[in-house]
Each structure stands twice: as C-alpha cells, then as structure tokens.
C-alpha cells in the first residue's frame, strides 16, 4: 500500500532496497518484500503506468558504492520514463 500511495501522490518512482538473498536478519523479509514489489509492478501495469517506476535492489549495508550506483541507476531509469502523469492531480 505504501508503494502504491507514493506513486498515487505523484512520486515519479519508488525503489525498495533489501538485503542480499540469504542474509536477511529476519530470514525471509527480503523475499517477501521482493514478492510485494513484483505485485505492485503488476498493479502499475494494470492501471496503465509503467511497472518500472517501482523497483527492488538487493545489497548489504556495507556496500556504500553499490548503493550509490543503484541510486544513480534508478534515477536514470525514472528520467527515461518521464515524470509521473499523476503529478498534476497531486497538486490540487
């Protein structure tokens, strides 16, 4: 719901960052999160938005440079998709 809300309110994109597979402190938290992100991507397709506006990345908390690289990748991804067409509604 949080993911959907952010897009609904006009965010151009949203990305979830989770631990590498097999290293989750809560065992399956990252797997469940990734299933939910996939579900949200499908919902976005369903309503006519690009599924790529929501993404999940996996890495460990120590991987600073990787985090930065992913952030850059996501930013470029979203720039390529263009602004969220719902933004104008959010300003009302």
Interface residues toward another protein, by CB under 8 A: 1, 4-5, 7-8, 43, 46-49, 85-86, 89
Q: Which 3 state secondary structure label does DSSP give 58?
A: strand
Which of 59, 86 has the CB closer to another protein? 86
**Closest distance to another protein from the beta carbon of 1 (Å):** 6
**Closest distance to another protein from the beta carbon of 5 (Å):** 7
Q: Which 3 state secondary structure label does DSSP give 56?
A: strand
Which of 43, 59 has the CB closer to another protein? 43
SS3 percent helix, strand, coil of the chain, rounded to 5, is 55, 10, 35
- In this structure, are residues 38 and 48 in contact, taking their beta carbons and an 8 Å threshold? no
**Closest distance to another protein from the beta carbon of 89 (Å):** 5
């Amino acid at each position: 719901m949080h993911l959907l809300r952010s897009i609904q309110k006009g965010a151009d994109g949203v990305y979830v960052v989770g631990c590498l597979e097999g290293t989750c402190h809560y065992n399956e938290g990252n797997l469940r999160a990734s299933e939910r992100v996939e579900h949200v991507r499908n919902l976005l397709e369903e309503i006519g938005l690009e599924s790529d506006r929501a993404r999940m990345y996996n890495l460990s908390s120590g991987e600073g440079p990787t985090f930065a690289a992913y952030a850059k990748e996501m930013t470029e991804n979203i720039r390529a998709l263009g602004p969220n067409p719902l933004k104008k509604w959010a300003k009302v």
